[in-house]
Structure 1
Amino acid sequence: MASGDSQRNVLIPIDASPNCLRAFEWYNTQLKKKNDLVFFVHVIEPVYTTPAVGLAMESPPLLVDDMTRVMEESISSGKKLGHKYMQMAKDVGLDCKAFLHVDTKPGNAIVKSASDHKADFIVIGSRGLGAIKRTFLGSVSDYIVHNANVPVAIVPPSEK
């Protein structure tokens, strides 16, 4: 195989946002090569409660049941999302795989996934947070840019 035809491993974090879809579409029109292998990664943040909430509940097992149900729903939604993106990728001739990760720190999970899958680069959509929200909520894309060992393309939200 000529060097121009070598496989590249591309990591694209996914969620249900339009910005994520925009990132995939941008990759497809701007960066895609026929031998790319795309890894879609969806990170689910686990549901936790503070001890104060648990103590305030009359029936803590219900709280555990509720947390379990929410996690099961999140995993089910994540699987559907992965299948949706895999189908879109296959429709444009891409080889792809999809993975779910449960982690309290999505940025860390994405960086680790990029390393695990030997990604050559990451393409991620920006949530488009303003400076104040980004300061308080943090930015997954900012974390990835500063901690990934591969190039990162951040696709901004569309202009309104």
Structure 2
Amino acid sequence: MKFSNILVPFDKSAHAVHALEIAKGLAEEDPAIQLHVVGIIFLSEMPPSLGLEANPYQSVPPLTVDPDLYKQLVEAALAREKEDMGAAIGTLLDGLPNPVQVLAVNAPSVVDGINDYAHDHGCDLIVMGSRGLGVLRGMLGSVSYGVLRSADVPVLIAKEAEKE
């Protein structure tokens, strides 16, 4: 099976960097293979209100957020994530003749974001690390397992070698 459009979900972890190295190796076989390195962040499109706690004993009334301001905040968060991804990737992809897209997207969940991106951009392979940096991983379950279970395309889980 030959792949032409590879998605690498990227959370800046060592496992994600390892997955990107594997995807780069696959892409080097054919300069027409396109790589999509995508960071998924989940911010709601527009919260009805933000209930902030000043301290554990006294609630602050919910704040209404201006929709335009919130959109700007989401766009700023995506831009910051893309910049942080670029720093984590460093020079790893330098010299690769393949087309590479590095971007951050907003999604309701990381698993949905990965699957939606793969579907919307015609990706035919997902290469991802076996573990990442997700704060809610323990509560929500493994993102890699969720993608493996629900993706419509092949998923390569890149397990990083044990360090001795």
Q: Percent identity?
A: 25
Report deviation, 1:117: 1.0
Cα shift readout 1:100-129 (whole Å, capped 9, x = no counterpart)? 211231101110110111111110012179
Question: 2:101 — aligned with what?
Answer: 97
5 Å matches for 1:96-135? 96-127=100-131
Superposition CA RMSD, Å: 3.7
Equivalent-residue separation in structure 2 for 1:52 and 1:80 (angstroms): 27
Cα shift readout 1:54-104 (whole Å, capped 9, x = no counterpart)? 471267369x9xx88974653233221454549633423221112321123
Equivalent-residue separation in structure 1 for 2:14 and 2:127 (angstroms): 14
Q: Contact 1:86 / 1:98 at 8 angstroms: preserved in 2?
A: no
* Secondary structure of the structure 2 residue equivalent to 1:89: coil
Question: 2:142 — aligned with what?
Answer: 139
Report deviation, 1:22: 0.7
Q: Compared with structure 1, are the counterparts of its residues 38 and 157 closer, same or farther at alpha carbon in structure 2 (3 Å cutoff)?
A: same
Query: Which structure 2 residue ranges, 5 or more long, are not aligned?
Result: 54-58
More helix by percentage = 1
Question: 1:152 — aligned with what?
Answer: 155
Q: Contact 1:127 / 1:157 at 8 angstroms: preserved in 2?
A: no
What residue identity is the alignment partner of 1:20?
A
Question: 1:38 — aligned with what?
Answer: 35
Q: Contact 1:89 / 1:95 at 8 angstroms: preserved in 2?
A: no
In the TM superposition, structure 1's runs of 4+ consecutive aligned residues that sit over 6 Å from their partners are 47-52, 67-70
Q: Contact 1:7 / 1:37 at 8 angstroms: preserved in 2?
A: no
TM-score (norm 2): 0.71
Q: How many residues align?
A: 152
Q: Contact 2:48 / 2:64 at 8 angstroms: preserved in 1?
A: no
Q: Contact 2:9 / 2:38 at 8 angstroms: preserved in 1?
A: yes
